Amino acid sequence: MSDGLRLMAVHAHPDDESSKGAATTARYAAEGHDVLVVSCTGGERGDVLNPRLQGDPEIERDLPEVRRREMAAAQAILGVQHTWLGFVDSGLPEGDPLPPLPAGCFALEPLEVTTEALVRVIREFRPHVMTTYDENGGYPHPDHIMCHNVSVAAFRAAGDPSAYPHAGEPWQPLKLYYDRGFSRAKFTAFHEALIAKGLESPYAEWLENWGDRPEGRITTRVPCSDYFGKREQALLAHATQVDPDGNFFRISKEMQATVWPTEDFDLALSYVPLADAEDDLFAGLGSQQESDALATTGARRLVVDDVREREVA
């Protein structure tokens, strides 16, 4: 792994950065890389999911401010930088038929507006690698799907001097990954490990309800079990969003380290070839100087580009 490289993780809401890829970002930050988490929205329409905090008058009075404080605490635990993209949480529509999304929310913003906002952040931070969600959003929350759309569009536009010329000097990130933290194989392994130890597994129902949801491709497995504790602490820092007695914490970090010691990703767009058995998001980039040169030159060619094919399919 090369020193001095920069990683940007683009997420929909505060708390997503702690439940998806958090041990990876903590590891790279601890190893001296610059890591920036981008929260597209403030999570303003989130529910209080921790039963111990439901009905708390301070939280009910100003949930957005509480979530900002939670995000600051998680950021400090992970050791990363953080910025807000500034859009408004869309909420998760429920019912049959589904109600319309609220006016002015992130999911309804024109794509060129959200893309320019993220391009501006990319050109300022100058990441070599980005991570986000796949075309299904990881799960079909409208903000997660918009997060995917804006991340792909901004990745493609940031290095183009004719695109958003007022948003800073062109800078082309070299790799874009989709997070694959939630996979059937992983939760099957957790379930079987708990049963083998004679422990109750909370994952049986998850697996029964998995249905025919496609299993996302994994190209890259990042060893990061030394940072599972940081991941757990960061997730708990989002106290309104996480039940400390919930399923996230039913398998110990020590057992996770034995059963599944990596966080997993899918390389979706890249200007460098995919390495065999890739175990590093910076694989193939070389030195910071070499990567900077490639990110600023116009003589680039995507060698991994399967986003369009998967979205059409």
At 52-111, the pLDDT tens digits run 999 999 898 999 999 999 999 999 999 999 999 999 999 998 888 889 999 999 999 999
Asked if 49 and 243 touch (Cβ cutoff 8 Å), the reply is yes
CA–CA distances in Å: residue 197 to residues 208, 228, 236, 282: 21, 21, 26, 37
Question: Could you tell me the two tokens for 74?
Answer: 């998680």
Phi then psi dihedrals of residue 85, to 5 deg: -75, -25
CA–CA gap between residue 133 and residue 20 (Å, rounded):
9
Per-residue CA distances from 40 to 15, 167, 206, 224 (Å): 12, 17, 28, 25
Q: How far apart are CA 5 and CA 135, in angstroms?
A: 26
Q: How far does CA 136 lie from the centroid of its chain? A: 13
pTM for this structure? 0.95
User: What are 78's strand-pairing partners?
Assistant: none
Give residue 3's pLDDT band: very low, low, confident or very high (50, 70, 90).
low
How far apart are alpha carbons 198 and 176 in whole angstroms? 40
CA distance 311 to 55: 41
Q: CA 45, CA 148: separation in Å to the nearest integer?
A: 20
Residues placed in the known binding site for Zn(2+): 13, 16, 144
Residues, the chain: 313
Higher pLDDT, 210 or 73: 73
In this structure, what is the dihedral angle of CA atoms 36, 299, 159, 107, given to the nearest 10 degrees?
-90
Q: What's the rounded mean pLDDT across residues 174-202? A: 94
Start-to-end C-alpha separation, the chain: 34
pLDDT per residue as tens digits for the range 107-134:
999 999 999 999 999 999 999 999 999 9
Q: When comparing pLDDT for 308 and 89, which is higher? A: 89
pLDDT computed for residue 313 by the predictor = 33
Instruction: Check the CA dihedral 235-150-176-126 and report its sign.
Output: negative
Predicted pLDDT at 204: 87
- Name the pLDDT band for 157 (thresholds 50, 70, 90): very high
pLDDT, residue 39, reads: 98
Q: 245 phi and psi, to 5 degrees? A: -100, 10
Which domains does the chain carry? 6-180+217-247+265-312 (3.40.50.10320)
- Given a contact cutoff of 8 angstroms between Cβ atoms, the answer to whether 120 and 86 are in contact is no
Q: Which residues contact 191 (CB under 8 A, 6 or more apart)?
A: 201, 203, 204, 207
Strands 262-270 and 304-305: antiparallel
Indicate the annotated binding residues. 13, 16, 144
Which amino acid would we find at residue 203?
Y
DSSP alpha helix (H) spans, 35-87: 57-61, 63-78
Average pLDDT, rounded, for the chain:
93
Q: State the pLDDT at residue 206.
A: 82
Residue 295, phi then psi, degrees to nearest 5: -70, -25
Give CA angle at 62 (60, 65), nearest 5°.
135
Looking at residue 216, its pLDDT comes to 87
Res 213 pLDDT > 90: no
DSSP letter assigned to residue 249: G
Of 80-84, 218-222, 291-295, 307-311, the poorest mean pLDDT is in 307-311
